[in-house]
Amino acid sequence: MPFPATRMRRLRGTDTFRALVRETELSPAHLIMPAFVIAGEGIREEIPSMPGVERYSISNLVEHAGEVVAAGIGTMLIFGIPADKDEVGSGAYDDEGIVQMAVRALKEAHPDLTVITDVCLCEYTSHGHCGIPDADGKIQNDLSVELIAKTAISHADAGADAVAPSDMMDGRVGAIRFQLDEEGHPDVPILAYSAKYSSAFYGPFRDAAESTPGFGDRRGYQMDPSNAAEAVREAELDLEEGADMLMVKPATPYMDIIRRVKEATGAPLAAYHVSGEYSALKAAALNGWLDERQAVLETLTGIRRAGADAIITYYAKEAAGWLQ
């Protein structure tokens, strides 16, 4: 019936009615906390371009993880920053590497915490690229995939609950799945960075991880921001290769991609609310330009509404506190 018989405001008048008809739920269970672990001892250093986010040495990461668990968050995504870097990113697949040691410490201290590891070479290479360049500076796909799969195995051996390849090399999901199965880790899932765009919003992360490319850029392997159908194709290929969960990165500028991938695949889907998205909100809040709590929860709800089952966000701990 048309107005005045139909009045949409009737079910907006009280908190109870709004809760009864709410279509999208956001809870701490939907959030994943990313964290940076760095070589050394007793380190908690704030990242200037990401106010409120720190790098942690292993013991301090374990302490931070306790705070994350207490906030009601059950999952963390770990990025490593090694003491030394080289041309082939050997620290990424070193069994005594920074992430491998951190995973063992986290699982010992917090056995119920789900630990996902970022699988890439960019934090470990002296040139900052996600793969190995040839003499002309072109990233070699197949050689890089071998080392990325080797990295995933070392993380699983250390006790990682899931591995998340973020390099965007072709075929890396299939290579990782094959190696995990061959090496006795058939139950370790792969969270694939399926639609990872070449984005300006990664700037603060590159400061945090010291992974800015030393030459060129990553447009040769990360996706063109103009493309949408390609993201669906990437996601479908990753599923065919054995991915258990997909990811779209970044989140807020790509909510249409989140929706398209979710509708096309129906697969479990994460979205990464990346460093630049975090820093933009944080800077506006620190300047008093918006209400941080309301803006963050609205943003995360929008990402969920677009189709994300899980959200990786540097706001995870704060958001969990606001939600509770």
| Cβ-Cβ contacts under 8 Å for 89 (sequence gap 6 or more) | 121, 122, 123, 124, 125, 132, 147
**Choice among 85, 196, 262, 317 that is catalytic:** 196
Q: Nearest-CA neighbor of 302 among 273, 274, 269, 322?
A: 273
247: left (phi over 0), alpha (psi -120 to 50) or beta: beta
177-196 residues labelled b (16+ CB within 10 A) or e (exposed): bebbeeeebeebbbbbbbbb
Identify the sign of the CA torsion 83, 84, 90, 95: negative
Say whether the peptide bond before residue 250 is cis (omega within 30 degrees of 0): yes
How far, in Å, are 134, 201, 239 from residue 172 at the CA level? 19, 24, 12
Residue 196 bears catalytic tag: yes
Q: Nearest-CA neighbor of 24 among 300, 256, 317, 316?
A: 300
How is 78-140 classified by DSSP, letter by letter?
A: EEEE-S--BTT-GGGG-TTSHHHHHHHHHHHH-TTSEEEEEE-STTTBTT--SSEE-TTS-EE
CA 79 to chain centre: 9
**Choice among 85, 138, 249, 262 that is catalytic:** 249
Q: Nearest-CA neighbor of 185 among 262, 96, 119, 91?
A: 119
3 state DSSP class of 313: strand
Residue 249 bears catalytic tag: yes
Q: What are the DSSP E strand ranges found in 169-214?
A: 191-196
Q: Write out the catalytic residue numbers.
A: 196, 249
